[in-house]
Amino acid sequence: MPRETVTIELSKLAPYQAAARLLAVITYPDSTSECEHFADAIVIWFLQQRALADHDWARVPFPIEPRLLTVHDVDGTLKRGLRILNRQRLIAAKQAAPRLDWFWQFATTGRKPQWEKVDPTGEAMIDAIDKDLKQPKRLETRGRKAKKGDVVEKSNVIRLAWTPPSRSVLHLCWALHRTIPGEDLMLGDFLSSVDARAVLGIIHAAEAASHLLCGQFEIAESEWIAVVAA
């Protein structure tokens, strides 16, 4: 039994609302309040961006939960949440992918792949992901600002991603990472293009991979979070 089962009501939510809920669960699996606040901030931001881009749509009466008007620090909440999502959760997905792909190919073809099952926190994985971390947009210090003269170890950044919060939603991280075209989640593009079928696809892919991921990375069933659609 998973430690928690989260239900996303696709039949009652707009696609961007369902996607916001899913992203929030992945980002904040250990805090219900932060999860809800991040999901609300995503929804508010998306509606603001759409209203700015489509003035005709912005003048049409639109149902909105009044509580959303009380959400504070939308920009700060988005910035913090997306930093965690891109720099921890999606990096964890990259760490899990080679081993999962190895077993997936072996199970479907009956032949052992020619590549090795890479240790998610080993030097080979660190070297591979380090190339991504050297992108210009990622050269800034992560987390707390380093003191003058300090050297930021990329291996520490990568190993930080492989922690209990990421491991509890590793199946969801992996399923999400498969659906985005680049290394990072571009929130506007994702929310503008996502539909209920896409959200359901992520949920089903995560469910299909959950037991394999838990077995390969020694994640107890009591540690991971399940997401189901209704």
- The whole-number pLDDT of residue 74 equals 95
Tally of structural domains, the chain: 1
Q: How confident is the model at residue 43 (pLDDT cuts 50, 70, 90)?
A: very high
Question: How confident is residue 136, by pLDDT bands cut at 50, 70 and 90?
Answer: very low
What's the rounded Cα separation, in Å, for the pair 199 and 40?
Answer: 17
- Whether residue 214 contacts residue 224, with contact meaning beta carbons closer than 8 Å, is answered with yes
**Is residue 157 predicted with pLDDT exceeding 80?**
no
Q: Is residue 115's pLDDT more than 50?
A: yes
**What integer pLDDT is reported at residue 170 of this predicted model?**
93
Residue 22's closest CA among 189, 181, 182, 198? 198
Tell me the whole-structure pTM to 2 decimals: 0.82
Question: Is residue 145 over pLDDT 50?
Answer: no
Q: What mean pLDDT do residues 43-55 have? A: 95
Confidence label for 208 from pLDDT (cuts 50, 70 and 90)? confident
Question: Is 27 in contact with 35 (CB distance < 8 Å)?
Answer: yes
* 60-73 mean pLDDT: 90
Q: Per-residue confidence at 105, pLDDT binned at 50, 70, 90?
A: confident
Quick: pLDDT tens for 70-97.
899 999 999 999 999 998 999 888 888 8
Confidence of residue 11 (pLDDT cuts 50, 70, 90): very high
The dihedral region occupied by 166, where left means phi > 0, alpha psi between -120 and 50, and beta the remainder, is alpha
Which residue bears the tokens 């700015």?
A: 52
Which residue segment(s) compose the domain that 13 sits in? 4-229
